[in-house]
Amino acid sequence: MLTAAYEQPTPHRISVLDYYRMAETGILPLGARTELLDGEIIDMAPIGSRHAGTVAWLTRALGKITGEQAIVMVQSPLRLGDFAEPQPDLMLLRPRDDFYRAFHPGPQDVLLVIEVADSTLQYDTEVKRPLYARFGIPAYWIVDLEHRGLLVCTDPDAGDYRSQGRLSELSQVPIGTLPGPPLELSHLF
- Which tens digits make up the pLDDT trace of 2-28? 556 667 888 889 999 999 999 999 999
Domain of residue 53, residue span: 47-167
User: For residue range 108-144, what is the model confidence (pLDDT) as tens digits?
Assistant: 999 999 999 998 999 999 999 999 999 999 999 999 9
CB atoms within 10 A of CB 25: 8
CATH at 52: 3.90.1570.10
- Rounded to whole angstroms, how far apart are CA atoms 166 and 111? 19
Give the pLDDT confidence score for residue 171 in this predicted structure.
81
Dump pLDDT digits (tens) for 68-116.
Answer: 999 999 999 999 999 999 999 999 999 999 999 999 999 999 999 999 9
Does a structural domain hold residue 181?
A: no
What is this structure's pTM? 0.90
The answer to whether residue 18 sits within a structural domain is no
Q: How far apart are CA 13 and CA 130, in angstroms?
A: 18
Looking at the structure of the chain, the number of domains it has is: 1
Domain-located, residue 30: no
Does 92 reside within a domain?
yes
